[in-house]
Structure 1
Amino acid sequence: MSAASRGLLSRLRSLSILSRANPTVHFRNFSAEFLSSYESDADGPSTIIEATPRVMRPTSKRTGAIAVKCGMTALWDKWGERVPISILWLDDNIITQVKTIEKEGITALQIGAGQKKVKHLTKPEMGHFRAQGVPLKRKLREFPVTEDALLPVGTLITVRHFVPGQYVDVTGITRGKGFQGGMKRHGFSGMPASHGASLSHRSIGSTGQRDAPGKVFKGKKMPGRMGGKQCTVKNVWVYKIDPARNLMWVRGQVPGAEGNFVFIKDAVYKKPDISLLPFPTYFAPPDEETSELEPLVADLGETDPFMAAD
């Protein structure tokens, strides 16, 4: 060990010994700005989060929501083509935890959805909900947000958080299909169905080469487990929302089976108009009766959004 290393270790040991007797000794070489910031961090986060509407900037990032896939229906466009529509239910979404730069080093919001009994929760989960002072939730999800989009714990996230006509990204776990062959899993055409092909009609064919390289390359499309993985469907168009029942109708399919949880957030590629979005979320007026609200439908405009792509 070099002399510089031994000197550094002895210096650290002396600082640790002195700090036990006087906790402020090891701060004597630091600036006043550092000491003031340390004292403010020790007292708690200095950021005051209020549930008030704000102005959304182009760099702002809102929180997402957790929904339950209820089922599918269909609409018909002006050409008579059937267009699938997925129905999503935002089941009692609330903010269960706020993560800030001062405490966790990031800005994020944890959303809880659904309800769960005490007997179905573990002790760490019970401690988490008890520390935050929120009801017991069935599903939790963390959404990264910008600092201006933070909301206090207990804030309700309703379906009015989204606007009909905007695009969203939906993430979920796809349906598990078990072990499948190459034709179903990767869309292979299969082998000839006549002229001498025996018991190999759905075979994938050759998987490698001859003596060089003498192996099957990694990543070769072969039979295997299909489905049961996380998938994100991007640019899903919001057709209608029902504030009275917290339902949302979106065009197309979303991953997962009926009853599964999916996670919705503003689209990354087809960004919505920030002037139309409620930021950081929708705050209902005190005299608003949710049960009397009518469904909101997107403006179809001159171009039919249900037209099948060419």
Structure 2
Amino acid sequence: MSGIIGKKIGMTSIYSADGTSVPCTVVEAGPCVVTQVKTVETDGYVAVQLAYGDAKEKNAPKALLGHLKKAGTTAKRKLVEFKDFANAVNLGDTITVADVFKEGEFVDAVGTSKGKGFQGVVKRHGFSGVGGQTHGQHNRQRHPGSVGASSFPSRVFPGTRMAGRTGGDRVTIQNLKVIRVIPEQNLILISGSVPGAKNSLVILQK
């Protein structure tokens, strides 16, 4: 397999062999159920669909319940398709974190970043603000400054960085090192930060 679905537990730190403290994100990865195996003959491409997290049947569409019933499983929270995989799997198989990742490998973490609501340009884009408080600049410390010319083009160009809603986006952090894999508890420790809040869904892929 090339990836797995998990849940972000939180952050911790462990000590490396030379005594350095390494900040890590703890992810409960799997177990996931193989709910569909796609082939060139039936679907035109090769992929494996995994499902993770138990859900209430009353909240799941009947079409989804019928799809999951073919794999012999109940309602799930998240279904994700992985195109690149090395091991042969069958419908209904259970995939654990130890089947996918080993210590020392590098993974990409995909999650939904924390929503921060409507924010100004300093927080949203890292602007420095207009600056000094002299020459009439008494209330412009965190303002964007000029956003366009006057007579020409007499408009603001699309895509100009301004204040607006921040966060809540799909974010991918690449090349995070796998520090430790704990198969007994389905846990994986990844160096650095992973997008999303605690208990949010995370996709880990090679």
Relative to the length of structure 1, the TM-score reads 0.62
1:81 Cα deviation after fit: 6.9
2:149 matches 1:209: yes
Q: Distance in 1 between matches of 2:9 and 2:47?
A: 28
SS in 1 for 2:43: coil
Contact kept in structure 2, 1:63 and 1:109, CA below 8 Å: no
Q: Which runs of 5+ in 1 are unaligned?
A: 1-61, 267-310
**Residue 78 and residue 216 in structure 1: after superposition, are their counterparts in 2 closer, same or farther (change >3 A)?**
farther
**Residue 65 and residue 78 in structure 1: after superposition, are their counterparts in 2 closer, same or farther (change >3 A)?**
closer
1:217 Cα deviation after fit: 1.4
1:138 Cα deviation after fit: 1.7
Q: Distance in 2 between matches of 1:181 and 1:80?
A: 41
Structure 1 equivalent of residue 84 of structure 2: 145
Q: Distance in 2 between matches of 1:102 and 1:80?
A: 53
**Residue 63 and residue 75 in structure 1: after superposition, are their counterparts in 2 closer, same or farther (change >3 A)?**
closer
SS in 2 for 1:106: coil
Matches within 5 A, 1:92-103: 92-103=31-42
Structure 2 equivalent of residue 73 of structure 1: 12
Q: Deviations over 1:97-155 (max 9, x none)?
A: 11111111111111011112222211111111123333332211111126x64411122
Aligned-partner residue type, residue 119 of structure 2: Q
Structure 1 equivalent of residue 188 of structure 2: 248
Aligned-partner residue type, residue 155 of structure 1: D
1:193 Cα deviation after fit: 4.2
Q: Distance in 2 between matches of 1:243 and 1:75?
A: 18
Matches within 5 A, 1:122-161: 122-145=61-84, 149-160=87-98, 161=100
Structure 2 equivalent of residue 233 of structure 1: 173
Q: Distance in 1 between matches of 2:22 and 2:158?
A: 39
Q: Which has the higher contact order (CA 8 A, sep 6+)?
A: 2
Structure 2 equivalent of residue 107 of structure 1: 46
Structure 1 equivalent of residue 58 of structure 2: 119
Equivalences, count? 204
1:262 Cα deviation after fit: 0.6
Q: Distance in 2 between matches of 1:90 and 1:75?
A: 19
**Residue 92 and residue 78 in structure 1: after superposition, are their counterparts in 2 closer, same or farther (change >3 A)?**
closer
Query: Which 4+ stretches in 1 moved above 4 angstroms?
Result: 76-82
**Residue 80 and residue 136 in structure 1: after superposition, are their counterparts in 2 closer, same or farther (change >3 A)?**
same
Q: Deviations over 1:15-67 (max 9, x none)?
A: xxxxxxxxxxxxxxxxxxxxxxxxxxxxxxxxxxxxxxxxxxxxxxx431001
- Identify, as 1 or 2, the structure richer in strand: 2
1:91 Cα deviation after fit: 3.3
Aligned-partner residue type, residue 51 of structure 2: G
SS in 2 for 1:244: helix
Contact kept in structure 2, 1:107 and 1:150, CA below 8 Å: no
**Residue 181 and residue 79 in structure 1: after superposition, are their counterparts in 2 closer, same or farther (change >3 A)?**
farther
1:240 Cα deviation after fit: 0.3
SS in 2 for 1:124: helix
Identity across aligned pairs (percent)? 39
1:164 Cα deviation after fit: 0.2
SS in 2 for 1:264: strand
Q: Deviations over 1:145-170 (max 9, x none)?
A: 26x64411122211112010010011
Q: Which has the larger radius of gyration?
A: 1
Relative to the length of structure 2, the TM-score reads 0.91
- Identify, as 1 or 2, the structure richer in helix: 1
Superposition CA RMSD, Å: 2.0
1:224 Cα deviation after fit: 0.7
Q: Distance in 2 between matches of 1:74 and 1:211?
A: 57
